[in-house]
């Protein structure tokens, strides 16, 4: 029911053709290649901070490998994870004078970093690129709105089922999911507690809907049942 977790990232147009944006066949390709030139690559260890709340957003990022969580802490320690990003996803494209969220590596990760100023110059030179970027952001916004509905109106089993299906859609995986994130990450993403996430997963397993060979691997045994739970 989600459209998609979050935009696949502008850079991916390099690998696609004939998609809605129709960028590849329009000369914007050179510009996209230019992106790769202005970026620098860096490795992060598990839980390393990529940027912090309050930082000046003078660059944006693309996940090369690994996974990233974008999150925010409340004064009393409650945490909320706004989105996860996987290989190929771009994130951290922000316009406010300071970051409202921080970003951290879920496990070991490799990330490309692009300076914002140079990027905006490139975008200004290409209306098509600008449009593509705009569409990506609007897609992210639509996803955020679907996520809001989940947090505001769905039960715990509905949230977990939706989460598993979305994750499966997003990463090719037909039925064997490997979850790079901890139960705490999942809980903070779904607006639940660790214990509730565990319990729901266990009950899905009892019902034969999924299998959990180990904590970070989940196999979808009955997608239809999951989908039904996810709908309410």
Q: Which of 34, 191, 221, 225 binds DNA (CB under 7 A)?
A: 191
Smallest distance, a second copy to C-beta of residue 21, A: 9
* Cα R_g (the chain), whole angstroms: 18
Q: Which of 157, 170, 189, 209 binds DNA (CB under 7 A)?
A: 157
Residue 37 and residue 52: Cα distance in Å, rounded? 25
Our CB check for DNA shows the closer of 13 and 164 to be 164
Our CB check for DNA shows the closer of 137 and 196 to be 196
**Whole-Å CA distances, 181 to 42, 72, 93:** 20, 16, 23
Give me the residues that bind a second copy (CB under 8 A), please.
Answer: 3, 20, 72, 74-76, 78-80, 82, 93-97, 100-101, 120, 123-125, 127, 130-131, 133-135, 137-142, 144-149, 151-153, 188, 190-191, 231-232
**Whole-Å CA distances, 219 to 62, 64, 80, 174, 175:** 28, 25, 26, 9, 5
Phi, psi angles (nearest 5°) of residue 80 = -130, 130
The one-character DSSP state at 11 is G
CB atoms within 10 A of CB 40: 10
# residues contacting DNA (CB under 7 A): 21
Our CB check for a second copy shows the closer of 97 and 213 to be 97
Residue 209 in the binding site for DNA (CB under 7 A): no
Q: Which does 216 bind (CB under 5 to 8 A by kind): DNA, a second copy, none?
A: DNA
Beta bridge partners of 44: 109
Q: Which does 202 bind (CB under 5 to 8 A by kind): a second copy, DNA, none?
A: DNA
Q: With helix as H, strand as E and coil as C, how does 209-228 read? A: CEEEEECCEEEECCHHHHHH
Residue 99 in the binding site for DNA (CB under 7 A): no
CA 145, 148, 152, 155 dihedral sign is: positive
Our CB check for DNA shows the closer of 131 and 199 to be 199
Q: Which does 156 bind (CB under 5 to 8 A by kind): DNA, a second copy, none?
A: DNA
Smallest distance, a second copy to C-beta of residue 53, A: 12
Chain centroid offset of residue 197 CA: 19
Beta bridge partners of 60: 114
Residue 45 in the binding site for DNA (CB under 7 A): no
Smallest distance, a second copy to C-beta of residue 106, A: 18
Binding residues for DNA, per CB under 7 A?
155-157, 182-184, 191-199, 201-202, 212, 214-216
């Amino acid at each position: 029911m989600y459209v998609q977790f979050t935009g696949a990232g502008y850079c991916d147009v390099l690998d696609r053709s004939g998609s809605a944006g129709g960028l590849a066949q329009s000369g914007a390709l050179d510009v996209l290649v230019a992106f790769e030139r202005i970026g620098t690559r860096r490795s992060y260890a598990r839980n390393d901070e990529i940027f912090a709340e309050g930082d000046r957003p003078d660059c944006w990022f693309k996940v090369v490998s690994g996974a990233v969580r974008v999150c925010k802490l409340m004064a009393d320690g409650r945490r909320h994870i706004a989105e996860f990003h996987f290989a190929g996803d771009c994130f951290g494209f922000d316009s406010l004078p300071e970051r409202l969220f921080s970003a951290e590596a879920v496990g070991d990760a490799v990330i490309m970093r692009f300076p914002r100023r140079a990027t905006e110059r490139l975008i200004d030179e290409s209306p098509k690129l600008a449009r593509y970027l705009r569409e990506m952001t609007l897609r992210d916004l639509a996803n955020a709105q679907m996520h809001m509905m989940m947090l505001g109106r769905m039960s715990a089993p509905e949230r977990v089922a939706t989460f598993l299906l979305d994750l499966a859609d997003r990463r090719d995986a037909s039925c064997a999911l490997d979850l790079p994130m901890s139960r705490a990450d999942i809980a903070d993403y779904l607006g639940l507690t660790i214990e509730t996430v565990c319990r729901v997963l266990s009950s899905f397993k009892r019902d034969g809907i999924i299998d959990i060979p180990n904590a970070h691997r989940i196999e979808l045994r009955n997608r239809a049942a999951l989908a039904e739970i996810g709908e309410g």
